[in-house]
Structure 1
Amino acid sequence: MTLYFEEEGEIKLPLECETLAKKVVEEALDYVNCPYEAQVNLLLTENEQIHEMNREFRGIDRATDVLSFPMIDYPEPGTFDFLEEEEDCFDPESGELTLGDIVISKEKVLSQAEEYGHSPKREYAFLIAHSVLHLTGYDHMEEEERQVMEQKQREIMERLDILR
């Protein structure tokens, strides 16, 4: 698994961001039984930048905690068998499955950790697990989807032993 990690802005999280991100992405991909080596891009930014992205890409004029930009349109969440015929889903140089991009607001990680009464590490890991599920076809637009996704997030966090 390759994680392309980038950080911008002055705010720093009190944890080893790249190492933890790689661990969470790998665990989440193992959890959903992704049969391929994969690559993910992760950008840590601040509220102002994620606000601009949220407005530009989603038409929502406010900062958010995390944005996910999947590169693959899954016919069914967490299914990978259809990818055999989808050559453009794989990086031509590495052969890895190109899952997409994750953007996280460091300010939201800190404020939500405080709001929910847990550590910045837990909040950061949770947002990455949440986003990897999006990158593998899961969503939470409908109540049933939300319940499935929340259960998967809990189980990934338990497997990582990063609890509230």
Structure 2
Amino acid sequence: MSLYIEEEGSVTLPFDTEEIAIAVTEAALDYAECPYEAEINLLLTENQEIHEMNLEQRGIDRPTDVLSFPMIEYDAPGDFSVIDEETGDAFNPETGELMLGDIVISKEKVLSQAEEYGHSPKREYAFLIAHSMLHLFGYDHMEEEERAEMEAHQRAIMEKVGIPR
């Protein structure tokens, strides 16, 4: 697995962001039984930048905690059989890794939501990555049934990395 992390802005998180990101992305890939080596891009930014992205990409005029940009369209969430190794469209030609997509996280939201929800910033950060990884696997939470399924998967991934609720 390749995880490319870029960080911008002056806000810092009080833990090793790379270590946690690697642990959660690997746990999510294992949990989803992804049959390929994968590539993920992670941008750690601040409210102003994620606000601009949220407005541009989703038409929502406010900052958000996390944005997910999947590279693959799935027939069913987590169904990697739609990926055609022969055409290679979803694979990085240099590394052969499956390009899952991009995750953008607001460091300011990590800190404020951790305080709001009464848990550590480390737990909030890990949760946002687990949540976003599920989006990169094709899961969503627009309907109640989807939300419940996604929550169960998030819980399992968080337990796998040893950061339960």
Per-residue deviation, 1:140: 0.4
- Regions of 4+ moved over 3 Å: none
* Matching residue of 1:34: 34
Percentage identity across aligned positions?
71
TM-score by length of structure 2 reads: 0.97
User: What amino acid maps onto 1:87 in structure 2?
Assistant: G
Distance 2:82 2:159 in 1: 29
TM-score by length of structure 1 reads: 0.98
Distance 1:74 1:81 in 2: 9
* Matching residue of 2:68: 68
How many pairs are equivalent? 164
Per-residue deviation, 1:87: 1.4
Q: Secondary structure at the residue paired with 1:87? A: coil
* Matching residue of 1:149: 150
Per-residue deviation, 1:59: 0.1
User: What amino acid maps onto 2:128 in structure 1?
Assistant: L
* Matching residue of 1:133: 134
* Matching residue of 1:87: 88
Q: Secondary structure at the residue paired with 2:12? A: coil
Q: Which runs of 5+ in 2 are unaligned?
A: none
User: What amino acid maps onto 2:36 in structure 1?
Assistant: Y
Distance 1:161 1:17 in 2: 16
Per-residue deviation, 1:19: 1.4
Distance 1:76 1:95 in 2: 23
Per-residue deviation, 1:86: 4.5
* Matching residue of 2:111: 110
Distance 1:13 1:39 in 2: 23
Q: Secondary structure at the residue paired with 2:43? A: strand
Q: Secondary structure at the residue paired with 1:149? A: helix
What is the Cα-based RMSD across aligned positions, in Å?
A: 0.8
Distance 1:108 1:159 in 2: 24
Distance 1:28 1:163 in 2: 14
User: What amino acid maps onto 2:49 in structure 1?
Assistant: Q
Q: Deviations over 1:79-116 (max 9, x none)?
A: 11121255110000100000000000000000000000
User: What amino acid maps onto 1:99 in structure 2?
Assistant: L
Distance 2:37 2:150 in 1: 22
